[in-house]
Structure 1
Amino acid sequence: MSTGNNGPEDTGKAPRASGAPSPFTEEEIAAVTGPGDEDELEDSEVATIEADEVPDLQSSFEKLAQKSRNLSPERIRTVLESVLFVADKPLDLHQLYEATGIDREKIQEALNQISGIHRDGISGVVLYEVAGGWQFRTDPHSAEYVRRYLRVKPQRLTRAAVETLAIIAYRQPATRPEIEDIRGVDCGAVIKALLDRKLIKILGKKEEVGRPMLYGTTREFLEFFALKDLSALPTLREFHELTQEHQEIVEKERPAAPSASGTVEALADPEFQKRMDKSVAASEAALEELEEAMSAADKTQKATASILNPTPPPSEGEPGSAPGARADEVEGGGNGG
């Protein structure tokens, strides 16, 4: 109950710091805490939490390696799956060995098994060999759903960036003048953008006039395109074969267009050349027979013409005449005299 001036009742209880009445009296508090002494508090030791001793990494790794020797192949596979799952970067054999103590040969065997289990179209998490290491990645067929959940946009490169990056990847180390000479346009802004995205890096300077910067691809480039190393890049021959393949697909999609598949199959037949040789020989023999027949026909025609239209003999006694000469020639010769 409050007094007339709305102050607290005099209950003998110690007031709270906030001004509200305390539920305990001063006597109750003193009975629990004791009289207390400031010197006593100063002399008391400060409570400390003892930290664990720093473990000996060498000895702990030896123990781990000893334990790992007794693991079954199935257990080795599960251990590697756990380590790869928490890794934020591709891990190579040495890093996996340092993390698990498992023999490298057993690690490689387990990775081959894991890659067979976690592969495209079979598992939602796929094991890729990327940038010289191994990494779990989401299945490409599920990319649309994963992006929607993460609410991120797919990373895309402009045509200029792809062209510049391709030139650097295939010709590295490459300089900016070399790149611009191939593309025919200024590439300063594109190169800066690729440097910012860490897809390329500066390897040094070329020993020539002006000492231009040398550019090459990075580990992030391999991770971005899911490449094991630079040898995984397609060759120029593969580019041409890919182009031909695309042309064949286009031809198949257009029924009205003539197809060259029959010609290709015929050329691939080992008996085709023999048949062609026989055909050519037969054609040449027929041509010779035709020429002989035409020659014989020409001779027959001339003989027939000489019989049907004999040449009249010249008149005797005419001046300037000669055996076999035509009358007009004799006449012309006389007038000319």
Structure 2
Amino acid sequence: MNNIDLSLYENLKEKIEAILFIGGEDVKIKDLSKFFKIPIDKLIPIIYELKGERKSSGINIEITDTHIYLVSNPKYGGVVNNFFEQEKKPKKLSGATLETLSIIAYNQPITKSEIESIRGVNVDSIIGNLESRNFVRICGKKETVGRPNLYEVTEKFLGYLGIDYVNELPNYQEIKEQLEKLHYIENKKSE
């Protein structure tokens, strides 16, 4: 143990665990050896001891000839899969939220007052909720009095629906054309 810093041996297994946790996919054994100034032949038994201690926990340690990394304990694989499958299920949206999202998606970019005009109710809290969930975003300002924010749906919302582009929405082109005609007629009346 000549030229070995004994303080590095204190809580060595815990230090290795912390490095593995932050290290991502895997950590090179030679890098641990170099960092801790411990010869590989002395480090390997410590790593195997750590692996043995972790055997009954939810996190296991895997060792190859050159790397060490963390894995979930296969004993809990079913639970892990069920949890992440549950997380992938989209959370339900209220009818009012879906209606607001539909209005934004088919009319984007659109201002909050234009949405309220279509819905007939205040949408402040719904817009705030949709922004916090990253389903809508501000995409600019309307060049009109007060320069109100313009809103559009996000890729996250499209992913929630399982589509890649807004034009994949049901009857998108047909509805978009009807809305453009309606806006044209309304603009003609106001001239």
* TMscore range, shorter length: 0.3 to 0.5
TM-score between the two structures when normalised by the length of structure 1: 0.26
Q: Which has the larger radius of gyration?
A: 1
TM-score between the two structures when normalised by the length of structure 2: 0.45
The structure with the largest helix share of the pair is 2
Higher relative contact order (CA 8 A, sep 6+): 2
